[in-house]
Amino acid sequence: MKLLLIEDEYELSGDIFEYLKNEGFVCESALNYKEAYLKIELYEYDCIIVDITLPDGSGLDLIKYIKSLAKNTGILIISAKNSVVDKIKGLELGADDYLTKPFHLAEMNARVKSILRRRKYDGHDRIIINNLLIIPEKREVSINNRLIDLTKKEYDLLLYFINNKNKVLTKESIAEHIWGDQADSFDSLDFVYSQIKNLRKKIIENSGKDCIKSIYGIGYKFEAV
Amino acid sequence: MKLLYKINIQYLIYSSIIIIIGAGIIYFLIRAYSIEEAEESLYLLKNKAVKNIEAGKHSDFFPIVEIDTISMDDAKNIVESVTDTLVYLKYAHEHELFLQLTSPYIKDGIGYRIFVRTTNINNEDILFSIGLPILSLLILILLTSLFVVYRINYSIWKPFYKNITNLKRFSASDNKPVSLVNYDVEEFIDLNNCLMELTEKIRKDYNNLKTFSENISHELQTPLAIIKTKTELMLQDPLLGDEKIRQIQIINQTVNRLSKLNSSLILLMKIESADFAEKKTILLNDFILKKIEEIQEIADFAGLNISSTFNDSVSIEINENLLDIMFSNLFGNAIKHNYDNGKIEVILCKNKFVIKNTGKELLREPSTYFERFARGEFSSSSTGLGLTIVKQICDLNKCSINYIYKDKYHSIEISFN
């Protein structure tokens, strides 16, 4: 999968680039509007990550341009402003999702994968990992052809792990992914611990492999073979 | 005291005083004049009577002229004077008041006492036949001019009152200048210009400050993002020692705290802005039930029991996002600052919403928790802005909010307008 990252902050761009490359994407980056415009004009991408506050232009205009080329390109907006107005405008222009800085890299990764899934496979894809079979469009998880019963949050949790397999996920990023803005309105970290415990239990009980490892002091990691 | 009322009262008082004084003066003038005239006519009549006596004619004409013959000595003792006297009139069978001139006359050794009388225009007659019409006329003039003055004042001051109303509605965060009605009175035009200048300066300063704060907050987001991503990448290193992991994790958590704080501050500033301008009519009963459903899992995990009582069906007009933020904060606090196996109670009535939760006693006066950064027990994990945000949302929607700690329950009550 080919991605274009349009972000003017050099360090941030570098970090995101590295993370995405590790995930197996082919990445390109642009540091400003002009560079981005040229790249969009010349090449095709599966997903474009756009920062809307660029030094020499607006990311929203880039989105308009991308859409005008009638491409089935996924668009993820990243922005320092959590502006409802910008969000609506962006989504109306055809962006798929909106993420506010600062965000967890794992969260961004999950969103990109989700966009790609929707656009490339129309949601008809299958994920096979270790001995788990996941059908995202039906939110079904089965092990050895047997369906396991997961709550909505447990499913979201599992998918988050799988999207970020072999990466260390902090407890905070997990809590924020599952609970969103509400994550800080209660003591979510204990709760995350308990939910992961339940998830692991369900997988093990259904003769799945226990791939969720806890990393001392930080969080968890899903180990995929 | 209201301006027009004050003007009119003053006008009424002074006019009344002048009218009373004026009426009094007129009364006495008329009376004096009529007495003078009466006396003059008496003297004329007396002279006529005297001439008649000299001519040897009798001019007795009771009760107008009465001539008695008396001794010369008596006549010399009479002093000519004008008096009021009651005369009994046989034909009318009653006493009548007359103005009487008593004069002595001596001729040919015979003394005469001449009474010349005229009907007294007494005080009451003056009062009623002349005084009253004049007084009525004066009062009519007073009322008419009162009315005219009132109308004139009203039309002069009307734009002034309109402008007061407009100024009351003015707020520093308005995005239009205050609208002031124009006058053609120079002093008011002056006032208008001053007020316009003043309010525009307030608006401009407020906007600048707001933009400045917003810009600072936004500028903070990107550096925070950089720290966050770098620390997350560092944590991926499998060769990190435990101590390093701990340190990096603390950096990570602190950055999270900073960015949550920043987000909350940005939200606080944005509450009055266009982002949350759209209002909808929302049925609170359904909204609250949905919220409870959302947090049920967490509450169960914390061993908390949530009970809800809906006494009425309540709808309010409010921005949906703000309402969501408000309830998230309220329920979040109720969960966070609770005991194991504690309780949360929610009550909804026609004009208020109450959320109660069991929890530890407060260290300070409850109302202080609405101020920024006033934290309770969970000091490092909370931004200290939760209740401040709730209060802002309430203020924006003209609802009042109250926080008390009673019978071991924290109780927050929101009253709708």
User: Could you give the residue ranges of the DSSP H alpha helices within B55-131?
Assistant: 72-77, 123-125
Structure tokens at A65: 């341009």
- Cβ-based neighbours of A178, under 8 Å, separated by 6 or more: A153, A156, A157, A160, A192, A195
Ordered mean pLDDT values, 10 residues apiece, chain B (417 residues): 78 86 84 85 89 83 85 84 86 84 87 85 68 81 85 85 89 83 85 92 89 84 90 86 88 87 84 82 92 86 89 90 91 86 90 90 82 66 82 90 89 89
ipTM confidence score? 0.82
pTM for this one? 0.67
Cβ contact, residue pair A102, B233, below 8 Å: no
**Chain pair A-B, CB pairs under 8 angstroms:** 112
**What pLDDT does residue B373 have?**
76
Residue A93 CA to residue A82 CA, distance in Å, equals 17
Structure tokens at B124: 């009451």
**Which residue in the block uniquely carries the two structure tokens 């004050």?**
B6
Is the model more confident about A186 or about B61?
B61
Structure tokens at A55: 């030094």
Query: Which region, left, alpha or beta, applies to residue A139 given φ > 0 means left and ψ of -120 to 50 means alpha?
Result: left
The answer to whether B97 and B84 are in contact (CB under 8 A) is: yes
Of B226, B245, B331, the CB nearest to A9: B226
Structure tokens at B370: 């609405």
Task: For chain A, say whether B380 makes contact (Cβ under 8 Å).
Answer: no
Sign of CA dihedral B284, B287, B290, B295: negative
Cβ contact, residue pair A102, B259, below 8 Å: yes
Long-range Cβ contacts of B315-319 (<8 Å, 24+ apart): B315/B281, B315/B282, B315/B283, B315/B284, B316/B281, B316/B282, B316/B284, B316/B397, B316/B416, B317/B279, B317/B280, B317/B281, B317/B282, B318/B279, B318/B280, B318/B282, B318/B397, B319/B276, B319/B277, B319/B278, B319/B279, B319/B280
**What pLDDT does residue A77 have?**
95
Nearest CA in chain B to A164: B236
The answer to whether B268 and B385 are in contact (CB under 8 A) is: yes
- Percent of chain A clearing pLDDT 70 (strictly above): 96
The answer to whether A109 and A83 are in contact (CB under 8 A) is: no
- Cβ-based neighbours of B183, under 8 Å, separated by 6 or more: B159, B160, B189, B192
Please report residues of A whose CB lies closer than 8 A to that of B344: none
Cβ contact, residue pair B242, A217, below 8 Å: yes
**What pLDDT does residue B377 have?**
54
Q: What is the mean pLDDT of residues A36-59?
A: 91
Task: For chain A, say whether B330 makes contact (Cβ under 8 Å).
Answer: no
Of A9, A106, A217, the CB nearest to B249: A217
* Residue B289: count of CB within 10 angstroms of its CB: 15
User: Could you give the residue ranges of the DSSP H alpha helices within B100-240?
Assistant: 123-125, 132-169, 186-235
The answer to whether A80 and A100 are in contact (CB under 8 A) is: yes
Q: What is the mean pLDDT of residues A15-34?
A: 93
Residue A161 CA to residue A169 CA, distance in Å, equals 8
Q: How far is B354 from chain A (nearest CA, A)?
A: 19
- Using DSSP, state whether B168 is helix, strand or coil: helix
Of B222, B235, B381, the CB nearest to A218: B235
**What pLDDT does residue A70 have?**
66
- Using DSSP, state whether B146 is helix, strand or coil: helix
Structure tokens at B53: 């006596």
Task: For chain B, say whether A72 makes contact (Cβ under 8 Å).
Answer: no
Cβ contact, residue pair A101, B224, below 8 Å: yes
Is the model more confident about B256 or about A28?
A28
The answer to whether B400 and B394 are in contact (CB under 8 A) is: yes
**What pLDDT does residue B126 have?**
65
Q: How far is B193 from chain A (nearest CA, A)?
A: 36
Cβ contact, residue pair A218, B295, below 8 Å: no
Nearest CA in chain B to A16: B229
Cβ contact, residue pair A19, B229, below 8 Å: yes
**What pLDDT does residue B121 have?**
64
Q: What is the pLDDT of residues A195-209, one digit of tens each?
A: 899 999 988 888 878
Residue A33 CA to residue A77 CA, distance in Å, equals 14
Beta bridge partners of A214: A220
Residue B227 CA to residue A29 CA, distance in Å, equals 20
Residue at A189: amino acid letter? L
> A5: pLDDT confidence band, cut at 50, 70 and 90?
very high
Q: How far is A23 from chain B (nearest CA, A)?
A: 13
Task: For chain A, say whether B263 makes contact (Cβ under 8 Å).
Answer: yes
Q: What residues 239-258 of chain B have any CB closer than 8 A to a CB of chain A? A: 242, 245-246, 249, 252-253, 255-256
Residue B413 CA to residue B395 CA, distance in Å, equals 14
Q: Go through A153-165 and write b for each residue having 16 or more CB atoms within 10 A of its CB, e for each that does not.
A: bbbbbbbbbbbbb
Q: How far is A5 from chain B (nearest CA, A)?
A: 15
**What pLDDT does residue B381 have?**
65
